[in-house]
Every structure is written in C-alpha cells, then in structure tokens.
Structure 1
Amino acid sequence: MRQLFDNSTLQNSFLSTGYVQVPILSAREVSYLLTEIGKLCPDDNFNPPSGKKYRTSYHCSFLDKNLDYKRQAFSLIKEVFNPYLKRYMPDFEIVNANFFVKPPHSGAMAIHQNWTALELEDTTVTLWCPLQDVDAHNGGIHVVPGSHKIIPHIESVMCPPYFKDFQKALMEKYLQPIPMRAGEGLIFDDGLIHWTPVNNSEVARIAVQIFCVPSESTPFLYLFNQDDPEYFEKIEVDEEFFLSQSITEYDCPSAPLEKSGLCREQEPLYF
C-alpha cells in the first residue's frame, strides 16, 4: 500500500474512512482568495443559468468556456494550495483545480464518485476546501465513510454509477454531512461516494476542489459510450488537458452534454 501521508495517524484514518479533515488556509489566505476570485471573469459570471436545458446550476472552472479564466483560476489555486499539499502529501502533484460556486438557493449536484484516473489498485485524491463555513444548509460536503472500499470499478464521464438505483437510501441513511470552517481541507479518496446539496443560504457558497495524483504517475480519462457500454476508451490527460479542452468534445454520441449559455445579462453574483 502506498504511503500517502507523512503522518501515520492521517494515513490510517484515510485508509479506514476514505478521508481526513485537516487545517489548510489562514483567515488571511481565505480573504486573499475571495478578493482575487472577484477579479476573475468566467463566461458564466459564477452564476450559471438555471433550468432543465442547462447541465449544471453551479459554477465549475473546468466547465467554463473562458480559457483565459481557467488558466488564471488554476494558477491562483496552485499558488496558494501547493505548499499545503506538499506538507501533507509530499509525493502528490496537482493536475486540476477548480472553483465550485453554488449561487443562493441553487447548485444541486448528483451523488457521485470522482472519475477514475489511474489503475484501480492505485489512489488519486481530491482536496476540497470551502472559503466560508459550510454545513448541510449551505451546500457543504457529505460523504459515505468507507465507500472507497466497496467495489473496485471504473467511474467515467457519462457512465451511470453502480449505486444509481439506491441513491435515495444513500441520502436518507448513509451520506454524512461534514461541517467545515472556512479554510479547512477535506482530503479524500476519489472513490469515496460524496455529494453536496443545494445552497439554501442567501450568499454564494464557494469552495476549491483540487485533483491530485502521485508524482510519478500519468493520469488518464476513461471515456464511456452508451452505444457500446462494454468498452471504455482510455486517453492520457495532464494539466494542459483540463485547461485547454472542453469535456463536451468527448461526449458519447447518445448522451451529448448541453452547451453552457452565457449569462452576462444576469445580475452579478456578489460574494
């Protein structure tokens, strides 16, 4: 088993539950990030249109169409978080980093696991850090502890999850909210079942999500095609892929993603 953390207590806790909660940013760093986010200009103004024809009701940097914004966001997040990642997990590297913004009374996200990016016997992790206090009310993260160990499988773009028929039970019995303070970090196995509900507060819920892999590894993306579901296409990905490509270019033919609309005509979303 790979030694993920320098700290043996964190290592053992991570292997058991699939996640650890750790201090990351100071109040000053949180304030700095919020100020810098306000200077960025994604196409959706951090406030995507709502409605059934749109793919999401939350902002994710990777899904935005403004490539300059995506590069600026990645550079900002990496500048701030890379020293902390190296403190906890010195042998891991940042491959992708996003701002996830849930507008007030919006931002529903499906229960999911993150995409498989290495061979099944290896581990990739996500670092999730809210920039304000979060709980179940305002779109805080929920997890199923230990679910990273249930069944080894491939989680892929547009591929139905193995738990699609019992998601209601997951919500009612197994998904546990993790209240977090602004600047705290949750480092979790990408195989962990997790979910963030609607932000029911009056202000935007802003979080940073960072995808990390072992330094010596080459990550890849499995592409699922509903017309031929017994096979996956496997393509190598890197930092540049997430900055320059649109996931809509890799949709399976039978289930294309909706194109995101511009929303410059909407009122700006104040943080």
Structure 2
Amino acid sequence: MRSIFKDPKLQLEFEDKGYVVIDFLSLEEVAQLKDIYKELNGQPIQMGFSTSNMSMDADYRKKVSNTITSVFGNAVNKHFDRFKMFFGIFTSKQPNQEKGLCSMHQDPTYVDENKYQGITIWVPLIDTNETNGALEVIDRSHLLNEYPRSTLPRFPYNDLVPLLLEKYFKRLDIKAGQAYIGNSKVFHWSPSNKSNEERVAALAWMAEEESQMRCYYQDFKNPGKTMEVFELEADHYIENPLFSRPDESKAKKIGEVDSQFEPLNEAKMDAIINGVTSI
C-alpha cells in the first residue's frame, strides 16, 4: 500500500498508532459548517447521540454529505497524496445527556483493505474535552482485527471492553477544526455529553483515489454468519436509509465472505499494542 500523507512524519506516526491529530480546518470553515448544521436543521436529535445518516430525509443526508466533502476538500488536497472522500455526515451529542454514549467500535470496511486503506476523518466543531464527549481511542488497535467489518454496529469484543478501557484507554482533547485522521480499524468510542452545549462533529470517509468503494452487507435483524460483498458508488450510503441492502441494478455483487474476527486475549493485546513482535 502506498503512503497516505504528503508529510513523511505524519505517515510514520499514522503507521505506528493508527491515527494522527492535525490542524485541518480554518476558523472560517468551522463557522461555515456550524452555520450549515443550524440552517439545515435536520439532525435526528431525539436521542442523546445521533448521526445525519440516521435521518430518513434523503435530501438532508445529501446536503450534509455534499457540504462536508466540499468544506474538507482544501485540507484533504493539502495533506493527502491522491485520496478521495466518499461521503460525509454530522454527528451530534445533545447536552446534559446520560444516554449519549457512542460505544466502542471499528468503522465499517468501505474498500478492499488488502489493497487500500479506509480512512476516517473526524472534526469537532467545538473544543472537545472530558465533559462533552471527546473522542477516545486505543493506540495500535488497528492491528488487532484484520478482518472486514460489515455496516452493522456490532463490536465483536464486548466481553473485553472493561479490560480495554482499564489498560489502553486514551482520550483525545481535540480543538474545533482539528482533525482525527484514523485507520477505520482503530478501536474508538466517545462518552455522553454532560456539558451545557451540543457537541457536533463533521466526519468523512476516504481512501486512495484509485480504490473502488464496497459494502459488506448483513441484514440488520438477521445478520447470519456471512457478508455479501458489493462494489458500488458512494451515493448508496447517502441516498438510502442506514443499513440498506445495495440495489443490484446499481451495485455489483462480487461474492460473500465469512463474518469473522481475530480471537483476542490480554497477552495478545499487550503484545500488539505495546509493539512486541512475538508472544
């Protein structure tokens, strides 16, 4: 796989930890996203934590995605070597909410990760901290599970979450306009927002410009033991409601793969996260 960043130092840090935090948007660009978020006024805020692609309004989802990818465009071209964004979303944590947890997870697989690198860009529109739902991560966790992940929000290591939090937890206090740039395999999560201000972030997913987007599909109610694999255009994830099966008149089904994950225990996690080559 080729380099992601134009800056070699960022590339080395990314390869080691699985992510970097960089200055990304100008104050004017942050203000622009804030204004659009308020103007569109379509976020499903009934829950403590929501994402724009949870909305059933396709026009809202499209406007959000187009706005975010447009505003991110200059920064992406500045920092990355021939990468393209697929789609964007807003995420929101409502203030003074105990039920706004975004639980530990890895992001879905959006490309063939044997050839390409799926990247998550997460940009808060206010300064984040311990109180308002900052992003939390585990360094080097992108090396823990190499298998492809479906679009379903199911984390295969829930029994290990207490240990992961106790031993490897790291909070990233990111300023408004800075970006977390992470391998989509990184284990990450965020707590509820206990502050008095809504915490909004803009996200986008991207990969090498020569990559083909994929969907690893499982039925939400009956996921089964396999995933259908489709090649498709990014608009599938915005034009259709969350967890929709791709339309085979627009997407190409290229096969099925087992839904599986890497068996982990404390010794194996210690070795990988601490950079030990053998256990």
TM-score interval for Structure 1 and Structure 2 normalised by the shorter chain: 0.7 to 0.9
CA distance in structure 2 between the partners assigned to 1:43 and 1:97 by the alignment: 14
- Residue of structure 2 in register with 1:137 after alignment: 131
- Residue of structure 1 in register with 2:23 after alignment: 23
In the TM superposition, what is the alpha-carbon distance from 1:16 to its structure 2 partner?
0.2
Alignment pair present for 1:14 and 2:22: no
Greater Cα shift, 129-138 or 22-31? 22-31
- Residue of structure 2 in register with 1:254 after alignment: none
CA distance in structure 1 between the partners assigned to 2:101 and 2:245 by the alignment: 23
In the TM superposition, what is the alpha-carbon distance from 1:196 to its structure 2 partner?
0.9
In the TM superposition, what is the alpha-carbon distance from 1:202 to its structure 2 partner?
0.8
Alignment pair present for 1:246 and 2:249: no
Contact 2:105 2:153 in 1 (8 A): no
Residues 204-253 of structure 1, C-alpha deviations (whole Å, 9 max, x = no match): 001011110111111111123585743211122322112211124339xx
The match for 1:149 among 118, 130, 143 is 143
Aligned residues: 242
The match for 2:110 among 96, 101, 117 is 117
Identity of aligned residues (%): 25
The structure-2 alpha-carbon separation of the partners of 1:43 and 1:85, relative to structure 1 and needing over 3 Å to count, comes to: closer
RMSD: 1.9
Alignment pair present for 1:209 and 2:209: no
In the TM superposition, what is the alpha-carbon distance from 1:155 to its structure 2 partner?
1.5
Amino acid across the alignment from 1:99: F
Amino acid across the alignment from 1:167: V
List alignment gaps of at least 5 residues for structure 1: 51-56, 252-271
Amino acid across the alignment from 1:198: S
Alignment pair present for 1:93 and 2:84: yes
Superposition TM-score, scaled by structure 2 size: 0.81
CA distance in structure 2 between the partners assigned to 1:34 and 1:207 by the alignment: 9
Alignment pair present for 1:218 and 2:212: yes
Residues 84-135 of structure 1, C-alpha deviations (whole Å, 9 max, x = no match): 0111113111111001011013321110000012223231101100000002
Structure with more relative contact order (C-alpha pairs < 8 Å, separation 6 or more): 1
In the TM superposition, what is the alpha-carbon distance from 1:136 to its structure 2 partner?
2.2
- The structure that is strand-richer by fraction is 2
Contact 2:120 2:184 in 1 (8 A): yes
The match for 1:59 among 41, 45, 50 is 50
List alignment gaps of at least 5 residues for structure 2: 247-279
- Residue of structure 1 in register with 2:263 after alignment: none
- Residue of structure 2 in register with 1:72 after alignment: 63
Greater Cα shift, 136-145 or 157-166? 157-166
